[in-house]
């Protein structure tokens, strides 16, 4: 049994170390679903807002598809493990009225260390999977690898072995050629990108499923095991930082644990194997370890609440804490509907923590903590966590233009406006208020 | 009546509207739209109100004055005339003018008098002729909009539009053929004449007496659209409408 008591935490502030700024800087998307042609410049934390059906999730999927090309490939299981919808390949390509488009879709990803990866994907009506038509990777002007219908090469050497058409070249050659470790690290981290869409039934244990990308499934599968190992990590860091300057990793773990306390009713959370008679018959696996919370307002003899009986918001925050700071979590990921089950204030607090974690993780070179996160939200208070003057924090308003193409515009202050100027211009209102008042063009959709 | 035509030949004008309620909006856009068209100005309109919750009153002077308070000059000017609150492609719609409408029939309302005194330190003069009543409402709008803090150009782009006594007077004027000073119609007479016009417009027989004005938005919109062609009668029969129209038409286009 592992547990964490809120009274044991102190405030911790970290040191700032050198910056290692690895991340996806830019993605050009051409002919993918409703995205006809878009180039997005990303920050460390990126939030997509806009009406329903405008293409926010498609943008997350475009990143996922790029990641799949640098990961295990385009097979159904590879795609679904990333949280992408198993859309038939023909429907992955854009289709618009009165537009005759090439039969391919293109993704061009530029990373902060100068790597530029471009892939062209194709499918025919009878193909069950997308396949790779061509791909290339350059570091500045130096070609790292590439493939086309004329053959493949890596590090300047022709690659003689036949390549699988549904897998990217990187995953097939990386063990064979000597490639700079920073490239390997960048691609390996990005290849683990997934889209999390937590669902209450999985978090509560009413539904079970596989954990394809540790530590936790995309919908919350395997949460008890993830919490258990998270608490082990937390305990180890607490021991190692006792009496010393807190490390970046500790600060990140601490910030994430604080998320769980935010609703204010729980005094402890942990994992244990509950007595079957004290476990709901609705829970799929009643014999294994499960997550519990102690309610600080209930009598000590009957204050242990299983995930089945706990607040949905607390579960969601626990899930967020895990994906943000578990050592096994992907460093680059998306969280679709970050406001899921949360009240407006908690939504803002969660997004603030995400921004804090990404900043600490990157700026303090921590091996714990997310490095780049992509979010969607329909809750205006998510915006209030963002400082749009900071290039690391970016909000995109996603809409469909008059042709139906998805367009994503970055929310920025008017050109040349200082913080003070802008404060006067927006009459001291928060971004959330501007959104609700319809003052952010396109953010309320076309209703 | 002398018609004022803009010497710089504006052909397009985008106008934001801040009005008391949803039944005033169609009257404003239909009658001003048609009247501007007669001066070779093709105007498009947009309501600047955010969507209200269901608890708030649907209409009223407080909506307008609180909108002005919540949207102070720096914000209004930047958002609607100065390139928008955001950069890049999110600059939002830009306007040449904002119509700020209030009915003059609120002048005797105690709550309005108290609000003007407490919020603006302004004592409303009740009574008066049509011109005086319109001037009183314009004065309140100018204080609420903080005209003193604006440049002359920005002042001119805010067009106080008092409807004497209400936009229903414009509707009656647009419907009836006989020349008359329609701004003098008030109270029960206005209710009866407006409702009669509304019923006759829908080929129904009017009653002798009506208790209230029908505030159904769709019905009002249909009426205003059907009788927009009567804008010239609104100009000749409602001097304060004509005055606001002249101010609108005189606005120089916003440089793009």
Domain that holds residue B166: 12-183+228-249
Q: Is B184 left (phi over 0), alpha (psi -120 to 50) or beta?
A: alpha
Report the gap between the CA of B207 and the closest CA in chain A (Å): 39
Q: What is the pLDDT of residue A178?
A: 87
Q: How far is CA B59 from the centre of its chain?
A: 13
Of B74, B78, B86, the CB nearest to A440: B86
What secondary structure does DSSP assign to B187-232, as a single string?
HHHHHHHHHHHHHHHTT-PPPS--SS----HHHHHHHHHHTGGGHH
- CA nearest A295: which of A317, A282, A275, A311? A311
| Chain B neighbors of A422, CB-CB under 8 A | 85
In a domain, A446, yes or no: no
Other C-beta atoms lying within 10 Å of the C-beta of residue A131: 16
**Residue B155 is assigned to a structural domain of this protein:** yes
Q: Which of B70, B78, B90 sits opposite A425 (nearest CB)?
A: B78
pLDDT for residue A140: 85
Q: d(Cα A428, Cα A380) in Å, to the nearest integer?
A: 16
B60 part of a folded domain: yes
The answer to whether the CB of A282 falls within 8 A of the CB of A206 is yes
Domain count, chain B: 1
Nearest CA distance, A424 vs chain B (angstrom): 6
Alpha helices in A339-440 (DSSP H): 344-363, 419-425, 431-436
* C-beta atoms of B88 and A412 within 8 A: yes
CB distance A409–B89 less than 8 Å?
Answer: yes
Whether A269 and A3 have beta carbons less than 8 Å apart is answered as yes
For helices A181-191 and A56-70, angle between their N-to-C axes, nearest 10 degrees: 130
pLDDT at A365: 83
Instruction: Please compute Rg for chain B using Cα positions.
Output: 18
Judge whether A132 lies within some domain: yes
- Give the chain A residue whose CA is nearest to the CA of B52: A437
How does pLDDT run along chain A (447 residues), one tens digit per residue? 667 665 443 322 222 223 455 799 999 999 999 999 999 999 999 999 999 999 999 999 999 999 999 999 999 999 999 999 998 888 899 999 988 888 899 999 999 889 999 999 998 778 889 999 999 999 988 999 999 988 999 988 898 888 999 999 999 988 888 888 889 999 999 999 999 999 999 999 888 888 999 999 999 999 999 999 999 999 999 998 888 888 899 999 999 999 999 999 999 999 998 877 777 777 777 778 899 999 999 998 889 998 888 999 999 999 999 999 999 999 999 999 999 999 999 999 999 999 999 999 988 888 899 999 999 999 999 999 999 999 999 999 999 999 999 999 999 999 999 999 999 999 999 999 999 999 999 999 877
Please state the three-class secondary structure of A299-333 as a single string.
CHHHCEEECCCCCHHHHHHHHHHHHHHCCCCCCEE
Ramachandran bin of B74, using left for φ above 0, alpha for ψ from -120 to 50, beta for the remaining angles: alpha
Interface of B with A (CB under 8 A): 50-51, 70-72, 74-75, 78-79, 83-93
Q: What is the pLDDT of residue B2?
A: 46
Instruction: Specify the DSSP class assigned to residue A93.
Output: B
Whether the CB-CB separation of A93 and A79 falls below 8 Å is answered with: no
Numbered residues of chain A with Cβ closer than 8 Å to any chain B Cβ = 397, 407, 409-415, 417, 422, 424-427, 434, 436-442
Coil, helix or strand for B111?
helix
Q: Are A2 and A228 within 8 A, CB to CB?
A: yes
CB pair distance less than 8 Å for A414 and B79: no
- Is A443 part of any domain? no
Q: Do residues A55 and A34 make contact, with C-beta atoms less than 8 angstroms apart?
A: yes
B255 within a domain of the structure (yes/no): no
Is there a domain that residue B5 lies in?
no
Nearest to B85 among A397, A410, A434 (CB): A434
Integer angstrom CA distances of residue B175 from A109, B88, B187: 64, 46, 18
Chain B hits for A434, CB-CB cut-off 8 Å, are 85
> Could you list the mean pLDDT of each consecutive 10-residue stretch along chain B, which spans 256 residues?
50 94 96 95 91 75 94 96 94 94 96 96 94 97 98 97 98 91 96 97 95 95 97 97 96 67
Domain count for chain A, please give it: 1
Residues of the domain holding A277: 2-436
Contact A442 B90 (CB under 8 A): yes
The answer as to whether B217 is a domain residue is no
* pLDDT at res. B7: 52
Q: What is the pLDDT of residue A418?
A: 95
Question: Considering the entire predicted model, what is its pTM?
Answer: 0.90
Centre a 10 Å sphere on the Cβ of residue A389 and count the other Cβ atoms it contains. Answer: 12
Token digits of residue A42: 């990303």
CA–CA separation, B15 vs B33, rounded Å?
10
- Please give the backbone phi and psi of residue A149, each rounded to the nearest 5 degrees, phi first: -70, -5
What's A208's domain CATH number? Answer: 3.40.50.300
Residue A205 has, within 13 A of its CA and on its CB side, a CA count of: 23
ipTM field: 0.84
């Amino acid at each position: 049994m592992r547990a964490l008591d809120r009274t044991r935490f102190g405030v911790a502030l970290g040191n700032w170390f050198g910056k290692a700024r690895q991340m996806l800087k830019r993605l050009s998307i051409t002919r993918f679903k409703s995205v006809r042609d878009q180039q997005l410049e990303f920050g460390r934390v990126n939030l997509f807002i806009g009406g329903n059906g405008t293409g926010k999730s498609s943008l997350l999927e475009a990143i996922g598809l790029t990641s799949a090309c640098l990961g295990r490939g385009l097979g159904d299981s590879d795609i679904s493990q990333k949280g992408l919808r198993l859309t038939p390949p023909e429907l992955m390509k854009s289709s618009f009225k009165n537009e005759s488009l090439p039969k391919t879709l293109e993704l061009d990803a530029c990373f902060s260390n100068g790597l530029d990866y471009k892939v062209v994907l194709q499918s025919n009506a009878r193909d069950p999977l997308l396949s790779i038509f061509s791909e290339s990777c350059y570091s500045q002007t130096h070609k790292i690898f590439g493939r086309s219908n004329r053959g493949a090469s890596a590090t300047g050497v022709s690659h003689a072995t036949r390549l699988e058409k549904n897998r990217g070249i990187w995953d097939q050659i990386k063990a064979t050629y000597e490639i700079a470790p920073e490239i390997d690290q960048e691609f390996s981290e990005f290849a683990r990108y997934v889209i999390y869409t937590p669902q209450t039934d999985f978090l509560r244990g009413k539904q079970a499923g596989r954990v394809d990308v540790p530590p936790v499934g995309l919908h919350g599968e395997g949460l008890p095991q993830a919490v258990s190992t998270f608490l082990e990590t937390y305990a180890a860091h607490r021991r190692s930082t006792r009496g010393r300057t807190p490390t970046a990793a500790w600060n990140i773990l601490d910030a994430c644990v604080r998320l769980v306390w935010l609703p204010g009713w729980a005094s402890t959370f942990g994992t244990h194997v509950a007595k079957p008679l004290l476990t709901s018959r609705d829970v799929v696996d009643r014999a294994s370890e499960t997550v519990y919370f102690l309610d600080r307002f209930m009598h000590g003899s009957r204050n242990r609440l299983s995930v089945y009986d706990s607040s949905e918001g607390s579960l969601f925050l626990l899930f967020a804490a895990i994906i943000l700071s578990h050592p096994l979590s992907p460093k680059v990921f998306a969280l679709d509907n970050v406001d899921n089950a949360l009240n407006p204030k908690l939504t803002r607090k969660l997004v603030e923590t995400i921004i804090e974690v990404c900043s600490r993780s990157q700026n303090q070179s921590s091996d714990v903590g997310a490095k780049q996160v992509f979010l969607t939200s329909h809750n205006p208070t998510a915006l209030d966590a963002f400082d749009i003057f900071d290039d690391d924090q970016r909000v995109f308003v996603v809409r469909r233009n008059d042709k139906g193409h998805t367009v994503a515009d970055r929310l920025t202050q008017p050109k040349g406006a200082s913080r003070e100027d802008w404060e006067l211009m927006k009459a001291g209102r928060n971004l959330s208020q501007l959104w609700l008042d319809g003052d952010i063009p396109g953010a309320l959709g076309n209703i | 009546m002398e018609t004022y035509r803009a010497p710089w030949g504006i052909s397009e004008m985008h106008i934001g509207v801040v009005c008391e309620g949803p039944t005033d909006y169609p009257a404003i856009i239909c009658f001003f739209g048609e009247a501007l068209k007669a001066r070779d100005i093709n105007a498009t309109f947009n309501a600047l109100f955010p969507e209200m919750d269901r608890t708030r009153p649907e209409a009223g002077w407080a909506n307008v004055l609180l909108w002005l308070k919540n949207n102070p000059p720096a914000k209004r000017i930047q958002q609607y005339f100065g390139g928008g609150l955001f950069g890049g492609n999110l600059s939002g719609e830009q306007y040449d003018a904002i119509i700020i409408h209030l009915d003059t029939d609120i002048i005797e309302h105690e709550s309005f008098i108290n609000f003007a005194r407490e919020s603006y330190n302004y004592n409303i003069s009740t009574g008066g002729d049509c011109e005086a009543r319109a001037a009183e409402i314009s004065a309140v709008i100018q204080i609420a909009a903080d005209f003193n803090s604006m440049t002359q150009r920005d002042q001119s782009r805010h067009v106080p539009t008092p409807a004497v006594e209400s936009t229903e007077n414009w509707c009656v004027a647009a419907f009836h053929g006989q020349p008359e000073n329609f701004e003098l119609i008030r109270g029960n007479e206005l209710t009866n004449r407006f409702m009669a016009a509304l019923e006759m417009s829908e080929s129904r027989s009017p009653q002798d007496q009506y208790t209230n004005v029908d505030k159904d938005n769709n019905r009002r919109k249909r009426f205003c659209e059907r009788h927009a062609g009567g804008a010239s009668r609104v100009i000749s029969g409602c001097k304060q409408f004509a005055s606001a129209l002249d101010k609108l038409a005189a606005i120089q286009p916003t440089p793009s």
